[in-house]
């Protein structure tokens, strides 16, 4: 009997000691993140993203974080951020600042992910949240759409050197290359044009494109504004190949042009200085471009020779980028679109008038509104309209 009693007592004591030695696992606090939506805006902005800690935390909680591209692109739509968060005891929330990059592009909703990594002293309910960037340019008359398709040309040609170019990727106008011409000129720049040119209508998109914007707004007594850039006295040249990649505006009354005047314009006057129109387009015929040269010993003898070309791709010139080119040699001018020659001029085409095209010339880029050739805008013309220039390159 004593033996049985001692055995029972030993079993009870052993069981009691064993139960006391078992320590329950602590209940760890939980890290939580949630999807958010932000409006893109036209300028860069900082938005706050919350990382929460739920439950009792009696010691420091540490977790790493990172942002990951999805349809939104790092440095284009947002700025990547990463780091480490440390929650002190009883701290329940940390805020991470996210940089959202604004623009005036008409885009679909884009997104990137915020992820949590390697938690210490905590668990995670979920380690990934989506930040959706809602495009707010839809339906906004000021939105800018950059075509995603189009023709392009190489930056090298056999037997030629790239002697000058502007890729428009500095986010600002290179004033060592270009000057803004301001105002309405004389008699609407000689064409009864309706716009007032000002510098503010030139801006840059994505640090990659120069935009000349025509607006319907009052300025100095005129109903429209736009921009006109010249390289006069800054870059002038003779002969070579010119490539200009651009997308064009549309609508009646719009008149975009990429062209050149003789460097002796101030002394010889027009048209004796010569004019080479690498590209002109009428906005109501936005599937046709024109390549023309103007000449004449004086204004009374002004004449021109040129040709026109339908869009080679079938796209209208606002729907895609095209490359407008000049191949210029002594006594020989060729004008091309997307490497297709469509306008060619030699001295015999000038009907005895002086050939002014063996001298230096400078560039002019502009979007006119109205004037003798395109006529005035009408009720169907939508503003603003834009010429978007990707690059201009000169090879010799």
b/e per residue 248-270 (b: at least 16 CB within 10 A): bbbbbbbbbbbbbbbbbbeebeb
Return the SS3 of 272.
Answer: coil
- Selected catalytic residue, list 56, 275, 329, 359: 275
Which residues contact residue 345 at a Cβ distance below 8 angstroms, ignoring those fewer than 6 apart?
293, 305, 306, 332, 333, 357
Q: Which of 216, 280, 344, 360 is the catalytic position?
A: 280
**Secondary structure of 293-317 as H, E, C letters:** EEECCCHHHCEEEEEEEECCCCCCC
14 bridge partner residues: none
Task: Give the distance, in angstroms, between the CA of residue 313 and the centroid of all CA atoms in the same chain.
Answer: 22
Annotated catalytic residue 37: no
Q: Are 325 and 340 in contact (CB under 8 A)?
A: no
Please return the burial class of 290, using the count of CB atoms within 10 Å of its CB with bins 0-12, 13-18 and 19+.
Answer: buried
H or E stretch including 2?
helix 2-21
> What sign results for the dihedral spanned by CA atoms 360, 362, 363, 368?
negative
Q: Is 275 a catalytic residue?
A: yes
- Active-site positions read 275, 280
């Amino acid at each position: 009997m004593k033996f049985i009693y001692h055995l029972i007592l030993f079993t009870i004591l052993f069981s009691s000691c064993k139960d006391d030695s078992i320590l329950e696992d602590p209940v760890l606090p939980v890290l939580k993140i949630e999807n958010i939506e932000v409006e893109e805006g036209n300028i860069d902005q900082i938005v706050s993203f919350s990382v929460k800690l739920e439950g009792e935390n009696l010691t420091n909680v540490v977790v790493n974080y990172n942002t990951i591209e999805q349809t939104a692109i790092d440095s284009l739509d947002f700025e990547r951020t990463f780091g480490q968060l440390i929650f002190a005891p009883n701290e329940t929330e940390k805020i991470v600042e996210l940089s959202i990059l604004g623009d005036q592009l008409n885009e679909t909703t884009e997104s990137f992910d915020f992820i949590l990594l390697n938690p210490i002293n905590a668990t995670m309910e979920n380690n990934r949240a989506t930040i959706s960037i809602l495009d707010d340019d839809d339906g906004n008359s000021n939105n800018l759409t950059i075509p995603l398709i189009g023709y392009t040309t190489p930056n090298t040609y056999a037997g030629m050197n790239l002697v000058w170019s502007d890729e428009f990727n500095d986010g600002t106008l290179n004033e060592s290359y270009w000057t803004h011409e301001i105002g309405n000129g004389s008699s609407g720049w000689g064409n009864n044009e309706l716009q007032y040119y000002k510098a503010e209508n030139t801006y840059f998109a994505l640090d990659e494109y120069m935009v000349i914007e025509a607006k319907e707004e009052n300025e100095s007594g005129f109903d429209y504004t736009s921009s006109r850039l010249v390289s006069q006295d800054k870059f002038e040249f003779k002969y070579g190949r010119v490539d200009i990649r651009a997308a064009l505006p549309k609508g009646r009354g719009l008149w975009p042009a990429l062209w050149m005047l003789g460097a002796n314009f101030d002394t010889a006057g027009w048209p004796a200085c010569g004019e080479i129109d690498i590209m002109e387009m009428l906005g109501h015929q936005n599937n046709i471009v024109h390549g023309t040269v103007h000449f004449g010993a004086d204004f009374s003898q002004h004449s021109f020779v040129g040709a026109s070309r339908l869009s080679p791709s079938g796209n209208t010139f606002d729907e895609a980028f095209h490359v407008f080119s000049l191949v210029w040699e002594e006594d020989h001018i060729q004008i091309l679109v997307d490497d297709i020659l469509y306008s060619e001029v030699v001295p015999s085409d000038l009907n005895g008038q002086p050939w002014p095209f063996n001298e230096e010339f400078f560039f002019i880029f502009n979007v006119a509104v109205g004037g003798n050739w395109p006529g005035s805008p009408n009720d169907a013309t939508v503003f603003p309209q834009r010429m978007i220039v990707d690059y201009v390159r000169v090879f010799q």
